[in-house]
Chain A
Amino acid sequence: MTMRFGNPDRPNSYIGKTVPRPNAGRLVQGRGRYVDDIVLPRMVHVVFVRSPYAHAKIKGIDASEALAVKGVLRVFTGADIATVCTPWVGVLAHLKGLKSPPEYAIAVDRAAWVGEPVAAVVASTRLAAEEAAALVDVDYDPLPEVTDMMTALDDATPVLHPDMGDNLAFERTHVEGDIDAAFASAHKVIEAHFKTGRHTGVTLEPRSILVDWNPGEGHMTAWHATQAPHMVQVVLAEHLGMPESRVRVICGDVGGSYGIKVHIYPDEVATAAIAKIMARPVKFIADRLESFTTDIHARDHEIWGRIAVAEDGEILAFDIDDWTAIGAYSVYPRTSAIEGNQVVNLCGGPYDFKNYRAKTTVVFQNKTPTSQYRAVGHPIAVTVTEGLVDMAAAALDMDPVAIRHRNLFADDAYPATSPAKMRFEGLSHHASLTKLVDLMDYDALRADQAAAKARGVVRGIGIASFIELTNPSPMMYGIGGARISAQDGCTVRMDPDGSIVAASSVTEQGQGTEAMLSQIVAEGVGVLPTQVRIVTGDTQSTPYGGGTWASRGAGIGGEAALQAAKALRNAILEVAGAMLQCPPDTLDIRDGAVVNMSDGADRMPLSELGRIVYFRGDTLPKGLPRELVQTRHYTPADYPFAFTNGVQASYVEVDTDTGHVKLLKHWCVEDCGRVINPQLVDEQIRGGIVQGLGAALFEELHYDAEGQLLNGSMADYLVPMAGEMPDMIIAHVETPTLESELGAKGAGEAGTAGAAAAVMNAINDALRPFGGEVTAMPFTPERVLRGLGKLQD
Chain B
Amino acid sequence: MKASVGGYARATDLRHALDLLAQSDGMGRVLAGGQSLIAAMNMRLSTGDLLVDINQIAALKGVTLDGDRLRIGALTRHAEVATDPLIARHAPLLRRATDLIAHAAIRNRGTIGGAIAHADPAAEFPACALALDATIHVDGPDGPRDIPAADFFEGLFETTIQDGEILTAISLPIAEDGEWQVIHELARRSGDYALAGLCVVRRKAGHRIVCISVGSHPELVPDAMARMDAGDIDGAVVALRAAIDPPSDTQASAAYRRHLIGVLLQRAAADLNGEPQ
Contacts and interface: CB of A to CB of B under 8 A. Distances in A.
- Quick one: which of B249, B250, B251 has the most chain A CB within 10 A? B250
Contact of B255 (A660, A710, A724, A791): A791
B191 A723 contact: yes
Interface string A657-683: 111100000000000000000000000
Contacts of A127: 2, 4
Given A127-B4, A657-B263, A713 B43 contact: yes
Nearest to A710: B250
A700 B191 CA distance: 19
Given A658-B260, A660-B186, A718-B189, 13 more contacts: A126-B2, A657-B263, A698-B188, A700-B250, A702-B250, A716-B250, A718-B188, A721-B191, A724-B189, A781-B186, A781-B252, A782-B253, A790-B259
A131 B253 contact: no
A791 B190 contact: no
Nearest to A724: B189
Interface string A770-793: 000000000011100100001101
Interface in A103-138: 126-127, 130-131
Interface residues of B, number: 22
Given A289-B1, A702-B250, A711-B250, A780 B188 contact: yes
A446 B250 CA distance: 35
B263 A658 contact: yes
Contact of B43 (A289, A697, A781): A289
A287 interface: yes
B195 interface: yes
Nearest to B259: A791
Secondary structure dominating the interface of B:
loop
A724 B259 CA distance: 24
Interface string A270-301: 00000000000000000101000000000000
Given A289-B1, A716-B250, A785 B259 contact: yes
B188 A723 contact: no
Contacts of A781: 186, 188, 195, 252, 256, 260
A723 B256 contact: no
Contacts of A724: 189-190
A131 B256 contact: no
B253 A130 contact: no
A791 to B, nearest CB: 6
A700 B188 CA distance: 13
A781 B196 CA distance: 12
Nearest to B196: A658
B250 A131 contact: no
Contact of A287 (B1, B186, B195, B249): B1
Interface in B12-56: 43-44
A281 B194 CA distance: 46
B1 A658 contact: no
A229 B250 CA distance: 38
Interface string B188-228: 11111001000000000000000000000000000000000
B256 A785 contact: yes
A289 B44 CA distance: 11
Top-3 shortest CB links A-B = A723-B190, A782-B256, A702-B250
B41 to A, nearest CB: 12
Nearest to B263: A657
27 contacts: A126-B2, A127-B2, A127-B4, A131-B4, A659-B256, A700-B250, A702-B250, A713-B43, A718-B188, A718-B192, A721-B189, A721-B191, A723-B190, A723-B191, A724-B190, A780-B188, A780-B252, A781-B186, A781-B195, A781-B252, A781-B256, A781-B260, A782-B252, A782-B256, A785-B259, A791-B259, A793-B255
Contacts of A780: 188, 251-252
B120 to A, nearest CB: 11
A711 B260 CA distance: 22
A542 B249 CA distance: 50
Contacts of A697: 188
A287 B43 CA distance: 10
Nearest to B260: A658
Nearest to B253: A782
Contacts of B1: 130, 287, 289
Nearest to B195: A781
B82 to A, nearest CB: 17
A658 B256 CA distance: 9
A723 B250 contact: no
A781 to B, nearest CB: 7
Nearest to B262: A657
Nearest to B190: A723
Interface string A690-706: 00000001101010000
Interface in B221-277: 249-253, 255-256, 259-260, 263
Contacts of B2: 126-127, 130
Contacts of A720: 189
Most buried by A among B192, B252, B256, B263: B256
A659 B251 CA distance: 13
Interface in B137-195: 186, 188-192, 195
A781 B255 CA distance: 12
Contacts of B190: 721, 723-724
B189 A723 contact: yes
Contacts of B249: 710
A718 B191 CA distance: 12
A327 B41 CA distance: 31
Contacts of B189: 698, 718, 720-721, 723-724
Contacts of B44: 130
A293 B43 CA distance: 15
